[in-house]
Amino acid sequence: MSTVFIAFQTNDDTRPIIESILADNPHAVLDEQPAMVKINAEGSLVIKRESIEERIGRRFDLQELQVNLITISGHLDEDDDQFSLTWN
Amino acid sequence: MHIDLRTVAIKPVRQTFDNIARRFGDKPASRYQEGTYDIQQTDIFHYRPLWEPELQLFDTRRTKVEMKDWYALKDPRQFYYGAYTVARARQQEAADSNFEMIEERGLAESIPADLKQIALDVLVPMRHAEWGGNMGNSFISAYGYGTAITQPCLYHAMDHLAVAQYLTHIGLVLNGPEALDTAKEAWMNSALWQPLRRHVENVLVVQDWFEIFVAQNLVLEGLSYPLFYDYLDSEFCANGGTVISMMTRFMAEWAAETSKWVDAQIKVAAAESPENKALISSWVKQYRVSVLEALTPLVHRSFGNKAESVFAEVTDQFNARCTKLGLAI
């Protein structure tokens, strides 16, 4: 198994996103760096639209992630409801 | 010369205000949390209001509903001023462009005469009822307790003005300024509108702010919005009046959004104690009678021979919604 990761800028928009990623992926590890948050996870990581919407109280388009996204590693599988990273 | 570049992480001394940290822990808080929680003034008032010397300027006793923590009545949309204005500006832009297109191309000409008359008779005079909604919600934001509920009520009050303006605009598009005079005349004198006018005016003089919330935001809106902006809207669409739906789009969207907020308030308040539940349920029962009576002539005017079945359906949905919120009605 190897590690996938995703990194965001740290700001008001990404806080609820990070919170929901950590809630949905108990195996994920948070790495806080200056102005950046990196989330590492063994094998796979999934971001769910629903859990982000729950936290921000409005509809969310997963494409909005891109605004604050710094980098990802892993094979990306994306649809309207989730955004997942895995190594095949 | 050799230069080492390194990053230094500076931990902020505090992540948020102390009152927010006490509620949610010392971590970065959202704008909604910072702009909402514990903003309400609770003590050190200057003097008691002359017009109500037995109460403080801000007092929890202005409603019979009791809450341990008034901030439990939070807004699921997390609207603070910024988020609210951005959301509404977007909707306003969409609505304006609809009206612009309709006026530019003279699309109102294409509406069948009978549908146009229903819109003039039923939708346009509603603007006076919307003003009642504005007054009620302004009252709540003035005399209510806890920013969590007074804040969205002020937004709700402003939204009612917006709906009244859209209804006015519909009148202007359909029949020019004359439509507004006819609507006012109908509101004041026509038998069609007197029961609703009575309900709206009765709510204007209610003193318990949570009772106004129930009478206006749950019962009146919960019954009238589905009737006018869902069922009547489908009638318009099915019979060649799509243009009218284009003009009422905001109301339909807004009702769907705000009903979630209203539901959250009622649910939390009713779950707080059996007393609250009984009280809110009794208000629902009381106002449901007068609202149903008030809407009956309008439903007959709007739906003709389908009136009974539409009315029964909407009432059933409303009752189901209340039961789901934990009320005993």
Is B77 in CB contact (< 8 Å) with chain A? yes
Tens of pLDDT, residues B53-96: 999 989 999 999 999 999 999 999 999 999 999 999 999 999 99
* Closest-CA residue to B125 (of B80, B75, B175): B175
In a domain, B33, yes or no: no
In a domain, B143, yes or no: yes
In a domain, B226, yes or no: yes
Residue B276 pairs in a beta bridge with: none
In a domain, B280, yes or no: yes
**DSSP H stretches of helix in B62-146:** 81-105, 113-118, 126-143
Domains in chain A, please, with CATH? 3-86 (3.90.56.10)
Which of B7, B8, B77 is opposite residue A58, by nearest beta carbon?
A: B77
Which of A34, A57, A58 is opposite residue B7, by nearest beta carbon?
A: A34
Q: Which residues of A touch B76 (CB under 8 A)?
A: 57
For chain B, give the mean pLDDT: 95
Rounded Cα distance between B248 and B261, Å, is 21
Nearest CA in chain A to B84: A58
Q: Are A33 and B9 a contacting pair at CB < 8 A?
A: yes
Supply the range of the domain harboring residue B182: 77-324
In a domain, B160, yes or no: yes
Using CA atoms, how far residue A41 sits from A55, A65, A76, B165, in Å, is 22, 18, 14, 52
* Domain total of chain B: 1
Mutate to test the interface with A, among B10, B16, B30 (most CBs of A within 10 A): B30
In a domain, B150, yes or no: yes
Q: What is the pTM of this model?
A: 0.90
Query: What's the pLDDT score for residue A24?
Result: 95
B292 pLDDT higher than 90: yes
In a domain, B57, yes or no: no
The CATH number of the domain holding residue B113 is: 1.10.620.20
Mutate to test the interface with A, among B5, B7, B11 (most CBs of A within 10 A): B7
Q: Which residue has the tokens 């590693």?
A: A73
* Closest-CA residue to A5 (of A27, B143, B73, B270): A27
Q: Would you place residue B4 in the very low, low, confident or very high pLDDT band (cuts 50, 70, 90)? A: confident
Is the separation of the CB atoms in A60 and A52 below 8 Å?
Answer: yes
Is the separation of the CB atoms in B19 and B37 below 8 Å?
Answer: yes
Q: Which two tokens stand for residue B101?
A: 């297109």
Nearest CA in chain B to A33: B9
In a domain, B122, yes or no: yes
Model-level ipTM above the cut of 0.85: no
B173 pLDDT higher than 80: yes
Q: Which residues of A touch B77 (CB under 8 A)?
A: 57-58
Is the separation of the CB atoms in B33 and A55 below 8 Å?
Answer: no
